[in-house]
Structure formats: structure tokens, C-alpha cells
Amino acid sequence: MLIVNVKKLGIGVISSILLIFLFYFYMNKNIVITQTQFIMNTTIEIKLFGKNSDKQKLEKTIAKAFDVMKEVEDNSTSYVEYEGNAASLNAHRGEYYTVNTDLIDQLSTSIPFCKLTSGEFDIGLFRTVNIWKNGSEKNYLPTRQETLNSLGKSTPDDIVVDKFNSRVLLPADMEIDLGGVSKGYGLDRVISFLKNSDINSALINAGGNIIALGQPVDRNYYNIAVQDPQIINKIIGTVQLHDGEAIATSGSYNRYYDINGKKYSHILSGKTGYPTELYKSVTVITNKGIISDILSTSLFLLSIDDGRDLINKLDYPIEVLYVLNDDTIVKSEGFNIEYSQDNIYKNQ
Amino acid sequence: MNIPKITFIKINKKEILIVIGLLILALTSYLFINNQNPGAKVKIEVNQRLYGTYDLNKTQEILVRDNGGNILLRSLIINGKIHVISSTCKDKICVHQGEISLSGQTIVCLPNKVVITIINDADKIDGVLK
């Protein structure tokens, strides 16, 4: 006969229930895994949102996500030659050369923008960029004639992209630099990788480019602080970034060539090879990383009117915010920003 | 009529203590799991490994060393902000970057592979667009 001690059983049941409850609660706790790595000459921060029970999976996935970003970097760089990448394509200019699919994708998306911006946005500026890099190293200001000469006669429209055979014919007088494209493109690649890895919520921050997947636990949007273009430790305000949205800022404030103590923006006009100083910063929200990257650069180089024409020609949802040189803000109606209390910029 | 017989189980002091003890243990574990010290913090990583987490509201100097114990950089937390005072790197970009205090902001010393990040769950900022 089985004798059950009711009291002992009771205590056992209570402690088991408590343990199960605690375990369940621990595993269900929402966590954020954040990692930072230096890729594409910038700090890339990836945040994955999930449950404690998925912690190992999240950690594995985040490491692979960085690998995707590194792969895009290697495939797109103009500085180190790998088979089929931009540097190798530059070396094989003037002939058909087989390139990787990342390069095909970036070229076919970005080339139309060169024409759409009347040549202001230009992916064929590798030589011009190098003139400015050398200039800042030697403290020498390149002349307008020098930068103009570096542009060559061909325009990105002359690049032949043979998608079917993964080949590209680069004009002999041109070398490409995808500096204003690959970061945004990399974000898209990482997002599709994360979706395939069953990640529902993630935020990827590549400095001036951020893309959102899903939502954090307690809200249906991510809060993104937009940095003040003049004071590094201040923000203009916060923007709500929803699932699938990408935000990008172009400004002269955090990347520039320092020559004789003067700062020259790293965003160069494809028409002159010289920086433009139309705005302090331009911020764009759209639904693709690569488009946010290309557009923030393009709009930074165009007048507000020309920028509006460009936006109207495109099929993407686009919101834009300009910080003008006189510290006023011009923005599209749908660009919702909650200004911080100490913000000095006024709506025009 | 059949009246059900109610029996009271006599519980002695020892058993009450065990139950109360279990409840307290559960409650503290619950609180521990659910509430890991909020407030602004500084996270320092060296070579992608966590080096330490520090209170951003406590004035302190933090020496970041490599595995061999050599000092890589010196940083200072003061007035709720952190900046790098000196670094063994050549470019000194980390030193020139100045103070940071907003959640999500980073100071990176690429040559030394040091990343300093501000974490503040209270301000609900998920990312800083630079």
C-alpha cells in the first residue's frame, strides 16, 4: 500500500510549481542582444530582440549577420582586390569583367540615380576621392581644375551591366567607388539574412544608416535619435522607425577632409568633383537601405526644388528633413520628428 | 444525511518556515530576473569581448588594459558623460571624439579594438543616427 504524506507532498508541489514558474518566466524574459563591429570604415551595431530561450540562437545569428556585412564590404570595396569585386573591376576597366552579384545589384540600382540627379550623384568618383584623400594627408587643397580633370569624359551611364552573364564593362577612363551605396545595400542584405533565420525583430545601425525589422517588445516602432549636425553630444529629436523602414543622414559634420584646418565635406558633386555646402544635413526615410543611402547623398547635392522633382519621379515612399545652413529645418509633411527640448533648429 | 468530514492538516512551524522561505526565494529570483539595475551605464568591449560595465553617474577613471595588462587607453566618467583622456593608438580619433552621454552613442578606438557604448534603458532610444 502506498502511503502518501499529504504535508510533504504539499510542500513538494508548491516548490515544484514555483520552480516551473520561475523557469518559465526566465525563459520568456525579453532580451536584446547587441554587438558592435567595425566594418566598412564605420561602427556597425546590430541589435536582435527575442526571448531568453532563444539566446544561443540569437548569438549565433548575430555573428553570421556580421559576416554578411563583411562579405558585402569585400565584394564592394575599391581598395582591396578580391576576385569579382569593385577594386578588381577598376583594374579590368575597358573590358568585360565577371563580377559578384552584390556588385551587379548595387550597380543596377545606383546607376540610374546618376542620370536622375543630372550627374550630381556619381559612383565613378574613385579617382576624385583619392585626390581629396591625398590632399588631406598632405594638407593640400586640390584645385577645381584638378578635381574636374579627374572626372574623365565617361559618365556612369556608360557602364554596361550585363546582368544575365554577371559581367560589367567599365569605361576605360572611369573607376568606381560605392561609398554612398554599399552601407545601405549591406543593411538590406543583413535584413534578408535575418528574415531567413527566423528573426522577427532587429535594428541595424551603420552610423548614418539605420534599418528596422519588426518591432521592440513594448512598442510598434523603434525610437531613433537624430544627432545634431553641429554638436556631437546633442540630438535634434527622435523619429519613430517602423518595420521595414530605413533612415539615413548625409552631412558634412562627421566625415570630412581636414585641409589647413578647414573641413571639406566627403560628399562630392559628380559635376565638379568638389564638395557642396548646401545643407548641414539631409535625412531620408524610405523602405530600402540602399535607396536611403543613395537618396540622402543625392538630396544633399541637389537644391530643394530639384530634390522634390527627384522624389516625385521615384516609386518609393520617401520622407525628407533638411537642416539648412541658417539652422532652420525644412521637411516633408510626413516626416514625423519629436524635437528635443534643447533643440535650436526651427521649422521654416 | 452524509456530512462531509473536514479534516485540518496540522502544519507545524518548521513547515511554515519552509513555505515562506520558498516564497521569498521565488520573489527575489523573480525580481532579479525582471529588474537588472536600470540607469545609465557604460559598456566597454575589447576585441569584441565585454571588458566591463560602469555606472555613468559615478565619477571614475577607467583604465582599459589588454590581456597582458598593458594600458590601452584611459577614460574618464564625469558629470554623466564619458570621454577618452589618452590612448596608445596613433590616430587619437577616440580622444578627439570628445564626450558622449546619449544611449547608443559609441566611442571606437579601432587600432586598440576598444568600443565604448552608452546604455540607458530609461530613455527608450534604440539607435542614434549619426
- What pLDDT, on a 0 to 100 scale, did the predictor assign at position A3? 59
Q: Which of A4, A205, A218, A280 is the best residue to mutate to test the B interface, defined by the most B CB atoms within 10 Å of its own CB?
A: A205
Q: What is the pLDDT of residue A30?
A: 86
Amino acid at A25: F
Residue B75 has pLDDT above 70, yes or no: yes
Nearest to A96 by CA among A154, A33, A172: A172
Task: Compute the CA torsion angle B125, A70, A115, A229 (nearest 10 deg).
Answer: 30
Condensed to tens digits (0 to 9), the pLDDT of residues A19-63 reads 888 888 888 888 889 888 889 988 899 999 999 899 999 999 999
DSSP A228: P
Mean pLDDT value of segment B52-60? 90
A223 to B100: CB separation less than 8 angstroms, yes or no: no
Quote the cell numbers at residue B78. Answer: 564625469
Q: Do A225 and B102 touch (CB under 8 A)?
A: yes
Nearest-Cα distance to chain B for A206, in Å, is 8
Quick one: average pLDDT of B59-81? 91
pLDDT in tens, A183-228: 999 999 999 999 999 999 999 999 789 999 999 988 899 999 998 8
Contact list, B125 vs chain A (CB under 8 Å): 223-225, 238
Name the residue facing A224 among B11, B81, B126 (closest C-beta): B126
Instruction: Give a three-class secondary structure readout of chain B.
Output: CCCCCCCCCCCCHHHHHHHHHHHHHHHHHHHHHHCCCCCCEEEEEECCEEEEEEECCCCEEEEEECCCCCEEEEEEEECCEEEEEEECCCCCHHHHCCCECCCCCEEEECCCCEEEEEECHHHCCCEEEC
Q: Which three cell numbers stand for residue A162?
A: 550585363
Mind listing the pLDDT tens digit for each residue in A234-284?
889 999 999 999 999 998 777 788 898 888 999 999 999 999 989 999 999
pLDDT for the residue A2: 55
Q: How far apart are the first and last CA of chain A?
A: 88
Give me chain A's average pLDDT, please. 92
Residues from chain A that touch B33, judged by Cβ atoms under 8 A, are 22, 25-26, 29
pLDDT tens, residue by residue, A294-342: 999 999 999 999 999 999 999 999 999 999 999 999 999 999 999 988 8
Distance CA A326, CA A302 (A): 17
Cβ-defined contact of B19 to A14 (cutoff 8 Å): yes
> Are the beta carbons of A297 and A121 closer than 8 angstroms?
yes
Q: In this predicted model, what pLDDT tens digit does every residue of A108-135 receive, in sequence order?
A: 999 999 999 999 999 999 999 999 999 9
A275: enclosing H helix or E strand: none
Higher pLDDT, residue B3 or B31: B31
Hunting for cell 564626450 — which residue is that?
B99
Q: Does domain B41-123 sit in CATH 2.60.320.10? A: yes
Asked if A191 contacts A209 with a C-beta cutoff of 8 angstroms, the reply is no
Cβ count within 10 A of residue B106? 19
Q: Is B104 in contact with A45 (Cβ distance < 8 A)? A: yes
Residue B24 phi, psi (nearest 5): -65, -45
What's the pLDDT tens digit per position in A62-93? Answer: 999 999 999 999 999 999 999 999 999 999 99
Domain locations in chain A?
90-169
Q: Report the interhelical angle of A289-301 vs A182-196 (nearest 10°).
A: 160
Inter-residue contact B74 to B61 (CB < 8 Å): yes
Count CB atoms within 10 A of the CB of residue A307: 24
The pLDDT of residue B2: 66
- DSSP strands (E only) in A75-200: 96-98, 160-162, 167-169
CATH topology for A90-169 is T-fold (1.10.3980)
**Residues B87-99, mean pLDDT to the nearest whole number:** 88
Contact A22 B30 (CB under 8 A): yes
Report pLDDT digits (tens) over B8-53.
666 678 888 888 888 888 888 877 776 655 678 899 999 888 899 9
Its ipTM equals 0.86
Which residues of chain A lie closer than 8 angstroms to B11, CB-CB?
A: 7
**For residues A122 and A136, what is the distance between their CA atoms, to the nearest angstrom?**
21
User: Residue B78 pLDDT more than 60?
Assistant: yes
Q: Who has greater pLDDT, B126 or A64?
A: A64
| Percent residues over pLDDT 70 in chain A | 98
